[in-house]
Amino acid sequence: MAENEVAPRATLAGRLFHLLVRVVPLIIIVLGIIVPPWSVLGKAHLIGYGICHQIPERTFFFNNHPLPLCARCSGIYLGAMVGFVGLLIAGRRRVGELPPGRVLLILGGFIVVMGIDGVNSYLTFFPNVPHLYEPQNWLRLATGMLNGLALSLIVYPVFNYTLWHNTERRSSIQAPWELIPFLCTIPVSVWMLESGAEFWLYPLSILSTGGVLLLLTMVNTMIVLILVRRESVAVNWRGAFLPLSWGLAVSFLELSVTITARAVLTQVLGLPF
């Protein structure tokens, strides 16, 4: 075959590949949006079904309507949203450095606190097994928010460094005192969820499950960029659109797998998941 015949075919294959790279994630995202359930609350509960046990006794209710996530998971993803939104409000949109050591130590302490409360709570599943104190949903929420806040303040600069070509040479949090405004949201959130007022059902459902999608998308975007060796390339939002769309698409695929797996385990095999 002549060289002038091979070149057009190679060019056509390359164009088709680049088209698929751009179209496939959009198809996945659209399918993830339009498939049932149709209501916002229904979709939030479906996301929760894929990542959370949704045990009623460990979930906040609003006029007999449960949140999509249990108290601890609600706290984790609400805390993550607080961290991300707080950094944007503070003008640290493209910070690319981790917090200093003393702040990282505090954030690590937040994660440990949730771990201790989680183990203590888990021990209550077993009769006659001693535990430190009686678990409470407000404690699950509060320690979950500490964990989610810590994760967001650590993940955010790593995400920026992986996505953007130019990042700000400063930390997401530069001093311990800067954590105070973030921590003030915890008692407010506890009050909102403990109130049981139905007014908070939709906002908290959207924020918590939105936190799931946001955190998954950021992590998956980083993984995709590392796998294709395109780290630190985007210079504007147009350049960031494709990796972000793949990150969201992969998140939808992951949730689809976990939702399907749980449905099979519980509804087909009758296992307690």
Other beta carbons within 10 Å of 186: 21
Angle in degrees, 0-180, between the axes of helices 180-195 and 71-89, rounded to the nearest 10: 140
In a domain, 224, yes or no: no
pLDDT tens by residue, 177-216: 999 999 999 999 999 999 988 899 999 999 999 999 999 9
In a domain, 99, yes or no: yes
**Host domain of residue 77:** 71-213
74 near 141, Cβ under 8 Å? yes
SS3 61: strand
165 has a pLDDT exceeding 80: yes
Q: What is the pLDDT of residue 131?
A: 85
Residue 125 inside a domain? The answer is yes
Region 93-105: what's the mean pLDDT? Answer: 96
* Cα distance between residue 187 and residue 43, in whole Å: 28
- The confidence score (pLDDT) of residue 273 equals 59
**Tens digits of residue pLDDT in 117-128:** 999 999 988 888
The number of folded domains in the chain is 1
Q: Is residue 100 part of a domain?
A: yes
pLDDT band for 268, please (50, 70, 90 cuts).
confident
Does a structural domain hold residue 102? yes
Beta bridge partners, 164, equal: 234
